[in-house]
Structure 1
Amino acid sequence: MLMGINTILAYVFGLFLLYIIGMILVIPIKVIMKLVINGIIGGVLLFIFNLVGGLFGLGIALNPLNAIIVGFLGIPGVILLLVLQIVL
């Protein structure tokens, strides 16, 4: 039994929709995973900064928001948090 052109087009359209839905679901998961990984890296960087900065009387609170800021911005994030702590 041969499939008709309508059946083949329906399968192709269904696979295309499945692909689109999959991409819609995967992109936010990638963003969330990147945010979590950067937050962990930021937390480690803040911890190291607090160890070294403790010798000079400098320190930044280690909390999730600061970890995410440092995770996104890296070293400029540490500088930003340090400046904000001194100014405020």
Structure 2
Amino acid sequence: MSPVVIISVVIGLIILLLVVGTPIKPLRMIGQGIIKIMIGALFLFFLNTVGNQYGIHVPINFTTSAVSGILGIPGVAALVAIQLYII
């Protein structure tokens, strides 16, 4: 292999790493958001399992999962209050 090919491959890899390395933080934030939404869906699943005895049922969809995942237990309590008193 000629030195020109090796140098051009190294420079190409450096440029590729510079370009690909920048979107790591937004991808990490998107991944954390997806994990929070999944945890919110688990919160709602357990709420529906336990709340079935008391007549509490909160539907599991993207919006309710996002609210319960981002806000945590207070979000689940807010969804229950909305379900019981408003709807």
TM-score of the superposed pair, with normalisation by structure 2: 0.72
| Rounded Cα–Cα distance in structure 1 between residues aligned with 2:83 and 2:31 | 29
Aligned residues: percent identity?
32
1:73 aligned residue (62, 71, 74): 71
Partner of 1:22: 21
Runs of 4+ in structure 1 displaced over 4 angstroms? none
Partner of 2:31: 33
| Rounded Cα–Cα distance in structure 1 between residues aligned with 2:83 and 2:48 | 13
| Rounded Cα–Cα distance in structure 1 between residues aligned with 2:63 and 2:42 | 13
| Rounded Cα–Cα distance in structure 1 between residues aligned with 2:42 and 2:67 | 12
1:58 aligned residue (45, 56, 76): 56
SS in 2 for 1:81: helix
SS in 2 for 1:62: coil
| Rounded Cα–Cα distance in structure 2 between residues aligned with 1:84 and 1:67 | 14
Q: Could you list the per-position Cα deviations for residues 35-74 of structure 1 after superposition, in whole angstroms to 9, with x for gaps in the alignment?
A: 1101111101100100100000111111111111111111
TM-score of the superposed pair, with normalisation by structure 1: 0.71
Q: How well do the aligned residues superpose, as a CA RMSD in angstroms?
A: 1.9
Unaligned runs of 5+ in 1: 1-10
